[in-house]
Amino acid sequence: MAAVETAIDGGSWRGTLSLAFAAMGDRTIVAERRHEGPFCIQRPFYPGDGVCHVYLLHPPGGLAGGDELVLDARVHSGAATLITTPAATKFYRSAGKPSRQQQSLHVASGSSLEWLPQDSILFGGSRVEIDTRIALEAGARFVGWEQTSCGRPWSGDHYAAGSLEQHTQIEVAGEPRLVETLRWRADERILTADWGLAGFGVCGALYAFPADSQLLAHVREGLGAATPSIDALTEVTAPATTDLRCGATLLGDLLVVRCLARKPESLRNLLEALWSTLRSAVIGRTPCAPRIWRT
């Protein structure tokens, strides 16, 4: 990765981070780490599940107009990696240029990646562009999610203005399996209409590979059952008064679970529960949550 100027356009900041993970003996190491600007990682953690846990750090805590974060992560054959963040990514109000986040993830055959960042919070008046590209080789294993919250209702920010353009692409063995674009302005019907966010204000998705019809049925059964630890897990046909709406589908051997929620913590609890359920089947390891989630 070529060196870049970290301060751009008279005060905006660009942070880049390039990571590579490789198997060494019975564990995974960070084989390559290069960064420019306010974007880095701490030392990796090894909680005993045989996976290298890494926390992405962005010291400013959020992105203002014109700021950029660029991540490139590669997981080599035999490596097992979990990437998360210590806090939500905040996108602040911008009167000019958009805030941009780009992330490129490559997972080699015989390796696994769990991509589990905390949510993205869109402040009222923010202009946000998020681009996520995930390349999975045949024989790779992957579980990942994305979460987006509009505004901060408890602070009186009801996202009356702002825009989002979010691209997500997942390819398997060089062939696109999922290509999506989510685009809106705060004053458009997509945020309130039944065919859009239906007024929920929080949306997200979980992706798992490889998956099959048996795993899909298991996930759908879980989404349709209420449990003490999760508020009203329901199917997508649930009434608008419920706290969550969810649906699951299978694109070849890629499992996609889509969710709408009224509160960020409801979506986060749901996705964590799904990850815990899927980890053994998809990643081949028992659940071991990152410690940062409970601090």
pLDDT grade for 225, boundaries at 50, 70 and 90: low
pLDDT of residue 235: 39
Distance in angstroms (rounded) separating the CA atoms of residues 172 and 130: 21
Q: What interhelical angle do 264-282 and 213-223 show, nearest 10?
A: 150
Query: Which of 90, 4, 140, 219 is CA-nearest to residue 18?
Result: 4
Contact 39, 67 (CB under 8 A): no
Q: Is the pLDDT of residue 232 over 60?
A: no
What whole-number distance in Å separates Cα of residue 200 and Cα of residue 180?
20
Q: pLDDT category, 49, cuts 50, 70, 90?
A: confident
* pLDDT above 70 as % of the chain: 91
Q: Which two tokens stand for residue 57?
A: 């750090």
Instruction: Give pLDDT tens digits for 154-181.
Output: 889 999 999 999 999 999 999 999 999 9
With CA atoms as reference, report the closest residue to 79 among 116, 117, 31, 47: 31
Residue 3 pLDDT level (bands cut at 50, 70, 90)? very low
- The backbone torsions φ and ψ at residue 79, rounded to the nearest 5 degrees and listed phi first, read -85, 155
Q: Are strands 175-185 and 163-172 parallel, antiparallel or unpaired?
A: antiparallel
Residues 6+ apart with CB under 8 A from 73: 18, 19, 20, 21, 81, 83, 103, 104, 105, 106, 113
Average pLDDT over residues 35-51: 92
pLDDT tens digits along 267-295: 999 999 999 999 999 999 999 999 888 87
Q: How far apart are CA 17 and CA 208, in angstroms?
A: 24
- State the pLDDT at residue 238: 38
CA 116/CA 132 separation, integer angstroms:
13
- The confidence band for 2, taking pLDDT boundaries of 50, 70 and 90, is very low
Please compute the mean of the pLDDT values over residues 212-234 and round it to a whole number: 69
Q: Which two tokens stand for residue 155?
A: 């602070």
Mean pLDDT across the chain: 90
The answer on pLDDT for 6 being more than 60 is: no
- Mean of pLDDT values over 84-94: 96
Length of the chain: 295
The model's pTM is 0.90
- Least confident interval from 59-68, 102-111, 135-144, 216-225: 216-225
Q: Once rounded to an integer, what is the mean pLDDT over residues 94-122?
A: 97
- Alpha-helical segments (H) within the chain: 213-223, 264-282
Q: Which residues of 185-207 are buried (b: 16+ CB within 10 A; e: fewer)?
A: ebeeeebeeeebbeebbbbbbbb
Could you give the 3-state DSSP secondary structure of residue 123?
A: coil
- Portion of the chain with pLDDT greater than 90, in percent: 81
153 vs 7 pLDDT, higher one: 153
Three-state secondary-structure class, residue 293: helix
| Domain extents in the chain | 9-285
Q: Which of 118, 34, 115 is nearest to 75 (CA)?
A: 115
- Classify 124 as helix, strand or coil: coil
Place of tokens 């410690």: 291
For the ranges 54-58, 99-103, 215-219, 222-226, the lowest mean pLDDT is seen at 222-226
Rounded CA gap, 233 and 213, in Å? 20
Q: Tell me the pLDDT tens digit for each residue of 28-37.
A: 999 999 999 9
CB 97, CB 132: distance < 8 Å: no
pLDDT score of 222: 87
Which of 21, 108, 31, 14 minimizes the C-alpha distance to 67?
Answer: 14
Best CA proximity match to 122, nearest among 76, 163, 167, 91: 91
